[in-house]
Amino acid sequence: MRILVLGAGGYLGGHVTERLRALPGARVLVGGRSPGADVAVDLAADRPYL
């Protein structure tokens, strides 16, 4: 199962991401503006970049 979490750098998103990564078979991708994000998201341009 592939899961994209937006806002994983925040308090709630960080906890949700940890729990999801503990699930067997889950592939968790983090989306956001930070350089460490798996998926760079530019909501103003409406273009996610993988």
Show me where the domains of the chain are located: 2-49
Res. 50 pLDDT band, cuts 50 70 90: low
Alpha helices, DSSP H, located in 1-50: 11-21
Question: What is the rounded CA–CA span in Å between residue 31 and residue 49?
Answer: 10
Could you tell me the pTM of the whole model? 0.70
Q: Tell me what pLDDT residue 22 has.
A: 96
> What was the pLDDT predicted at 18?
95
Per-residue pLDDT tens over the stretch 5-44:
988 888 998 999 999 999 999 999 998 877 788 887 777 7
Residues in the chain: 50
State the Cα–Cα distance between residues 13 and 5, nearest whole angstrom: 7
